[in-house]
Structure 1
Amino acid sequence: MKRFDQINMIPFIDIMLVLLAIVLTTASFVSQGLIPVNLPTAEQVSEPSKDEEPLEIAINEKNEFFLGEEKVTLEQMAEKLKVQAKPETLIVLRIDKAAVFEHFVKLIDLLKAQELNNLSIQAQQEP
């Protein structure tokens, strides 16, 4: 029987490719956020640029406001945005389709008052 002096790398490469596929799959789920928001659908949906980390604001079906993953009131959000956001900061809005439209209008009014105009509204692609 012939003895091998080298390590067979093919099984190692197979395992690494499987692990890479698992990491890439789970990474796409993590980026969606932890706040459950039932987004409205749209025909034209584009991805925001990845130049800088966007600031995410969400309103869920219970009409609760979230700045990132932190639940805040509209007044608290105004104070936190003064500290965290600059006029060029990309702000991604995730609004549940069951949320009251009045809350969306109040949020937009707050952002305009602080001159935060770089907005992106997140939606789901229509099937």
Structure 2
Amino acid sequence: MEEKEVSVINVIPFIDIMLVLLTIVLTTSTFIAQGSIPIQLPKAAKGASAALQGHTIEINRDGRLFLDGQPTSLPLLKQSLSAVDRAAPVLIRADRSLLLQGFVEVLDSVTQMGFKKLSLQTESING
């Protein structure tokens, strides 16, 4: 039996696989983007380089609080953080259009509880 020499490579299966992978990536990225809390961060000359691993407190433009992505209130926030190690870092993300009083109340509560590693996430002016 003679073997035939292959003169053409069939790339259609490769293209099919790439289209399926592209569909999976686009679908996944859509779900990831929709699952976030909409916050427009304030701008600063230098944005935060890397967030520390710890707890994240988010305040949206309506003043609603979220602890690690879960809705909460100020009393429940204090109760949840009371069981946390005071050496754990806390990241505060607040919408730029939030009234200052809402941010100050959260910051004051966290500092009164004894947390020392606090950081505020901002957006870089350039990006």
- TM-score by structure 1 length? 0.71
Q: Distance in 2 between matches of 1:47 and 1:126?
A: 13
Counterpart in 2 of 1:8? none
Counterpart in 2 of 1:41? 43
Q: Distance in 1 between matches of 2:81 and 2:55?
A: 9
Aligned to 1:104, the other structure's residue is in SS state helix
Aligned to 1:99, the other structure's residue is in SS state coil
Contact 1:48 1:120 in 2 (8 A): no
Alpha-carbon deviation of 1:30? Answer: 4.4
Runs in 1 of length 4+ with deviation above 3 angstroms?
A: 1-4
% identity of equivalent residues: 23
| 1:86-125 Cα shifts (integer Å, max 9, x gaps) | 1221111110011111111111111111111211111111
Larger Rg: 2
Unaligned runs of 5+ in 1: 5-10
| 1:32-57 Cα shifts (integer Å, max 9, x gaps) | x711111111111132355x4x2110
Unaligned runs of 5+ in 2: 7-13
Amino acid at match of 1:64: R
Counterpart in 1 of 2:72? 72
Alpha-carbon deviation of 1:69? Answer: 1.4
- TM-score by structure 2 length? 0.71
Counterpart in 2 of 1:120? 119
Counterpart in 2 of 1:60? 60
